[in-house]
Structure 1
Amino acid sequence: MEISARNVIKGTVKKVVMGMVTAEITLEVSPGIQMTGVISKASAERLGLSEGKEAHAIIKSSDVMFAVE
C-alpha cells in the first residue's frame, strides 16, 4: 500500500457494527488500545472488514481538538 497520508496506524479489527448505511469499525492498534471509526457500509463490505482481519486506519485531518472537564 502506498499512500501520501502520514498518519497510518496498523491494527486488528476487533468489532464491526453494520448499520443500514454506515459501519462502525473498532481497530485494536496496541494491546488494550482501540480506536473506532465510521465508514460506509459499502466500503466495509468491499474491504471485507471482519473481526480478526488486519487493517490500517488512515487519519487525514487539518484540525485536532482537545477538551477537559
Structure 2
Amino acid sequence: MKLSARNVLTGTVVDVTKGAVAAKVKIDIGGGHHITSTVTVEAVEELRLEKGKSVSAIIKASDIILGAD
C-alpha cells in the first residue's frame, strides 16, 4: 500500500471496543506508548481488527486512518 501521508506508526492492536456504529481501537506503538483510533464497526470487521493484529496508524491532520494487510 502506497500513501502520501508520511506520519505512519506501526503497532499491535491491544483492545477493540465496539459500539453500535463506532469502535475504539487501542494500539501499542512501542516504548510504553498507546494510541486510540475511533473507526466504524464496519471498518473493524473489514480489516479484521482484533487483539494481536499488526496495523499501521496513518495520521493525517486530526484524523488517524488504520491500514492492515
TM range (shorter): 0.7 to 0.9
Q: How many residue pairs get matched?
A: 62
For the residue of structure 1 that corresponds to 2:56, the secondary structure is: strand
* CA apart distance, 1:32: 1.5
Report which of the two structures shows the higher radius of gyration computed on alpha carbons: 1
2:38 is aligned to 38
Structure 1, gaps ≥5 residues long:
63-69
Give per-residue Cα distances to partners, 1:1-34, cap 9 Å, x unaligned.
2111011100000000011000100000004210
User: TM-score of the superposition, structure 1-length normalised?
Assistant: 0.85
Give per-residue Cα distances to partners, 1:20-58, cap 9 Å, x unaligned.
000100000004210001001101110000000000111
Q: Which has the higher strand share?
A: 2
Residues in 1 aligned to 2:44 and 2:3: alpha-carbon distance in whole angstroms? 19
The runs of at least 4 consecutive aligned structure 1 residues that moved more than 2 Å come to none
Residues in 2 aligned to 1:12 and 1:28: alpha-carbon distance in whole angstroms? 5
Residues in 2 aligned to 1:17 and 1:31: alpha-carbon distance in whole angstroms? 23
Q: Percent identity?
A: 40
Structure 2, gaps ≥5 residues long:
63-69
Residues in 2 aligned to 1:31 and 1:6: alpha-carbon distance in whole angstroms? 20
Residue 53 (str. 1) matches residue 62 (str. 2) = no
Letter in 2 for 1:44: V
RMSD, aligned CA:
1.1
